[in-house]
């Protein structure tokens, strides 16, 4: 879970610093895949149709919980790249208030990381679908 003392922008800055030292898109994709390896296993109870993210090339599940005004997300995928993408999004969004999630410009953040350019169009569309699902959960919570 994200440390509440850290802002979403500070987390983005840390990720951007990590991405900046990577020389090419292949290294960035490898880094994203490594992020996915650190995701906690998603319980079978959360691998439901309701938690599936439509629009992804791979199967991606995203579950959320509310603790006061904060949303915590859990996720998994059957694809290493999609799992890494959703892990990156969880670093940005999990543990944040719904209002902060909705105020954050995900497109600008992902462009800053150079991620959409490193992905195939289908994977970039899936990444956008994951962001959309997180925002949908935040709207429902707000």
Catalytic residues: 56
What gap in Å lies between CA 121 and CA 31, rounded to an integer?
Answer: 19
What gap in Å lies between CA 95 and CA 65, rounded to an integer?
Answer: 9
For 34-69, strand residue ranges (E) read 60-67
And the tokens for 68? 């006061």
Residue 94: DSSP 8-state: T
Q: Which residue in 95, 138, 102, 99 sits closest to 3, CA to CA?
A: 95
> Under a CB-based contact definition with an 8 Å cutoff, are residues 44 and 62 in contact?
no
> At a CB cut-off of 8 Å and minimum separation 6, what does 126 contact?
53, 55, 56, 57, 58, 60, 82, 85
């Amino acid at each position: 879970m994200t440390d509440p003392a850290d802002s979403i922008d500070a987390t983005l800055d840390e990720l951007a610093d990590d991405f900046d030292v990577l020389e090419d898109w292949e290294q960035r994709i490898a880094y994203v895949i490594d992020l996915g390896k650190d995701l906690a296993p998603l319980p079978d109870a959360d691998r439901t149709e309701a938690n599936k993210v439509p629009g992804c090339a791979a199967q991606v599940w995203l579950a959320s919980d509310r603790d006061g005004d904060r949303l915590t997300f859990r996720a998994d995928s059957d694809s290493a790249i999609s799992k890494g993408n959703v892990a990156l999004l969880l670093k940005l969004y999990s543990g944040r208030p719904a209002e902060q999630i909705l105020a954050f410009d995900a497109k600008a953040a992902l462009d800053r990381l150079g991620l959409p350019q490193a992905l195939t169009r289908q994977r970039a569309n899936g990444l956008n679908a994951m962001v959309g699902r997180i925002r949908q959960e935040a709207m429902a919570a707000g």
